[in-house]
C-alpha cells in the first residue's frame, strides 16, 4: 500500500529500484501560498524519533517483519493491497514512514514528499480509514523493538509525527481526487529493444496524462500485480499524448525483466500519477549542465526537448555516461539533437575514460549553470559532491534522490 519512499543505500537501490526508476521526489509543495503544515513542534519530536530510529537500525529486518505481521493479523482485509510476494515489497511501507519521520523537521522537502506519496497511494485503493491501522502497527512494532529508548514521551512524539505524516498524505489524496484519476491504463504501442537488456517502450495512456519533462511515473505490469516501479519519461509531453520510457532489465528485476523481454504492442499497463521536481526552471535563462548515467539519460533527453520547445537557446551540456561504448544505447538520438540545436553539446563518458562526475569536472566552468543529475544513486551522490566542488550552489542542483541526499536535519 505505501509506496517505496525509496531507500537509503546504494545496495538497497540496486535491489529494489529498477532502471529508469527514480526515487520519490521532493516536489515543490503545490497550491499557491500553501505553507507546509509541519510546525516547530517537529524539531523537539524529531530528536526523540531519531533516537528510536538509531536504536532499531541494526534490527530493521525484525521490526519490518513484525510490523507487517501486526498489520495483517489485525487487518486481514489490507493484505490484498500488497503484492502476493512480500519479499520485493518488504520494507517499503515501513521505510516510507521511517524516512518521513527522520526528515520531520525538513519541512519543505518532507511536505512535498508526503503530498506526493499521498497522491500516489490512490492507485493502491488506499482510504483515509486505513491510516490508523498502519499507525497502530507502526507503534506496536516500535514498542516491541525500541525497548532501550521507548517511553511515554517518545510514544507521544511518534504519535504526533505519524498523525502529521498521515494527515498530509490524506489531504493531498483528497485534493488530487478532485482533478485526476487514481491511475491510468496505458497500452504499449511500440517496443524497441536497443541492447540485449535495454528497451525503449512507448505507451498510449487511455486519457490525457499531464506531466512535465524531467518527471517520472510509477508503473504496474499485468504480469506482476501490485508491484510498482518508477520510470522517468524519456520525452517531453508530445502533441500525440504518447509517453516513452527507457527500461533496463536488471538481474531478478521482475518488472524490468517483463517490460524488456515480455511486453509487446497491445499489452496494457497501469500508471500512477507523474511525480518529481527535476524540471527546467523557465523563469531563468541560465545554462544547463546535465549528467545522465545509463538509462538515466531518459529524463535528460526530455529536458533537452523541453528547452528546445521553449525556444530558450540556453547553453545545454549533456554528459552521457555508460560502462562501455555499446551501452550508449541512445547516443544516436542525442547526436541528432546536438546536430539540430546549436546550443546543445553532448559529451560521452565511458568507464575507460573515467566516471561521469570526475569527467564533468575536467570541463567547465560550470558555476553559472543549473545542474540536473539522473542515474544510479552512487553516480548522483558523487555527482552532487563534484558539482558543489566546482562552485554550483546546492539549490541549483536537481535530482530525484532528495530524501536520500538531503542534508541530515538538525534539531
Ligand atoms: N531520474 C533518475 O534519477 C533516474 C535514475 N535511473 C537509474 O539509473 C540507473 C541506471 O542503471 P545503468 O543503466 O545500469 O547504469 P550503469 O550502472 O551502467 O552506470 C551508468 C553511469 O553511471 C556511472 N556510475 C555508476 N555508479 C557510479 C558511482 N558509484 N559513482 C560514479 N559514477 C557511477 C557509470 O560510470 C556510468 O557512466 C538505474 O539505477 C536507474 O534506477 C534511471 C532513470 C532515471
Is pLDDT of 6 > 90?
Answer: no
Q: Cell numbers at residue 351, please?
A: 568507464
C-alpha 375 to ligand 1 mean position (Å): 4
Residue 227 Cα distances to 3, 87, 180, 345, angstroms: 10, 11, 21, 38
Domain boundary among 271, 306, 323: 271
Q: Are residues 166 and 20 in the same domain?
A: yes
Same domain, 212 and 263: yes
Residue 48 lies in a domain: yes
How far is the C-alpha of 408 from the C-alpha of 106, rounded, in Å? 9
Whether residue 248 has its Cβ less than 6 Å from ligand 1: yes
Structural domains counted in the chain: 3
Calculate mean pLDDT across residues 367-378.
96
Count CA within 13 A, CB hemisphere, residue 227.
23
What is the pTM for the complete model shown?
0.85
Please confirm whether the linkage preceding 365 is cis (ω < 30° from 0). Answer: yes
244: CA distance to ligand 1 center in Å? 19
pLDDT for 90? 59
* Residue 108 Cβ < 6 Å to ligand 1: no
Q: Are residues 103 and 195 in the same domain?
A: no
66-113: per-residue pLDDT in tens? 999 999 999 999 998 888 877 655 567 777 777 787 777 777 778 888
Whether 398 and 277 have beta carbons less than 8 Å apart is answered as: yes
Which percentage of the chain shows pLDDT scores above 70? Answer: 86
Q: What ipTM was estimated for this complex?
A: 0.97
Alpha carbon nearest to ligand 1 atom 13, residue: 294
pLDDT band (50, 70, 90) for residue 311:
confident
End-of-domain residue from the set 156, 177, 198: 177
- Whether 1 is covered by a domain: the verdict is no
- Which residue's CA is the nearest one to ligand 1's atom 27? 379
198 lies in the same domain as 100 = no
Cell numbers representing residue 359 in the block: 569527467
Pair (190, 265) in one structural domain: yes
Q: Whose CA is nearest to atom 16 of ligand 1?
A: 294
Cβ count within 10 A of residue 353: 13
d(CA 74, CA 136): 10
Integer angstrom CA distances of residue 103 from 16, 154, 177 = 21, 16, 26
- Ligand 1 site, residue 273, Cβ cutoff 6 A: no
Residue for cell digits 510514544?
Answer: 155
Could you tell me if 239 and 321 lie in one domain?
no
Contact 20, 112 (CB under 8 A): no
User: Which residue, among 366, 232, 401, 212, has the nearest Cα to 290 in the 3D structure?
Assistant: 366
Report pLDDT for 106.
75
Q: For residue range 332-354, what is the model confidence (pLDDT) as tens digits?
A: 999 999 999 999 999 999 999 99
Which three three-digit cell numbers place residue 81?
Answer: 493491497
Domain of 99 in residue numbering reads as 10-177
Same-domain status, 373 and 303: yes
Amino acid at each position: 500500500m505505501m509506496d517505496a519512499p525509496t531507500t537509503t543505500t546504494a545496495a538497497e537501490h540496486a535491489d529494489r529500484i529498477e532502471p529508469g526508476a527514480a526515487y520519490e521526489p521532493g516536489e515543490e509543495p503545490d497550491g499557491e501560498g500553501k505553507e507546509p503544515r509541519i510546525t516547530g513542534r517537529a524539531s523537539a519530536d524529531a530528536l526523540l524519533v531519531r533516537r528510536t530510529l538509531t536504536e532499531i537500525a541494526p534490527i530493521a529486518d525484525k521490526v519490518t517483519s513484525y510490523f507487517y505481521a501486526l498489520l495483517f493479523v489485525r487487518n486481514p482485509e489490507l493484505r490484498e493491497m500488497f503484492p502476493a510476494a512480500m519479499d520485493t515489497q518488504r520494507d517499503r511501507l515501513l521505510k516510507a514512514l521511517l524516512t518521513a519521520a527522520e526528515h520531520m523537521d525538513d519541512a519543505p522537502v518532507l511536505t512535498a514528499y508526503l503530498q506526493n506519496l499521498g497522491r500516489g497511494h490512490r492507485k493502491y485503493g488506499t482510504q483515509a480509514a486505513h491510516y490508523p491501522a498502519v499507525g497502530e502497527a507502526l507503534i506496536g512494532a516500535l514498542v516491541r523493538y525500541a525497548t532501550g529508548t521507548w517511553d511515554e514521551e517518545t510514544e507521544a512524539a511518534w504519535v504526533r509525527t505519524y498523525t502529521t505524516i498521515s494527515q498530509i498524505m490524506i489531504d493531498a489524496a483528497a485534493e488530487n481526487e478532485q482533478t485526476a484519476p487514481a491511475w491510468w491504463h496505458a497500452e504499449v504501442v511500440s517496443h524497441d529493444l536497443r541492447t540485449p537488456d535495454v528497451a525503449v517502450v512507448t505507451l498510449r495512456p487511455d486519457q490525457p496524462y499531464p506531466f512535465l519533462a524531467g518527471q517520472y511515473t510509477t508503473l504496474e505490469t499485468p504480469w506482476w500485480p501490485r508491484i510498482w516501479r518508477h520510470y522517468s519519461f524519456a520525452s517531453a509531453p508530445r502533441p500525440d499524448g504518447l509517453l516513452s520510457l527507457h527500461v533496463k532489465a536488471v538481474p531478478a528485476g521482475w518488472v524490468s525483466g517483463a517490460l524488456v523481454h515480455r511486453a509487446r504492442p497491445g499489452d496494457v499497463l497501469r500508471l500512477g500519477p507523474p511525480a518529481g521536481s527535476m524540471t527546467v526552471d523557465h523563469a531563468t535563462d541560465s545554462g544547463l549542465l546535465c549528467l545522465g548515467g545509463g538509462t538515466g539519460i531518459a529524463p535528460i533527453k526530455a529536458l533537452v526537448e523541453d528547452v528546445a520547445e521553449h525556444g530558450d537557446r540556453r547553453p545545454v551540456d549533456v554528459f552521457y555516461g555508460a560502462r562501455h561504448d555499446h551501452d550508449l544505447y541512445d547516443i544516436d538520438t542525442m547526436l541528432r539533437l546536438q546536430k539540430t540545436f546549436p546550443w546543445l553539446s553532448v559529451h560521452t563518458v565511458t568507464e575507460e575514460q573515467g566516471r561521469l562526475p570526475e569527467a564533468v569536472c575536467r570541463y567547465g566552468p560550470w558555476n553559472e549553470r543549473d545542474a540536473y543529475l539522473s542515474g544510479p544513486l552512487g553516480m548522483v551522490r558523487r555527482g552532487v559532491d563534484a558539482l558543489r566542488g566546482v562552485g554550483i550552489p546546492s539549490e541549483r542542483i536537481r535530482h530525484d534522490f532528495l530524501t536520500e541526499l538531503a542534508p541530515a536535519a538538525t534539531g
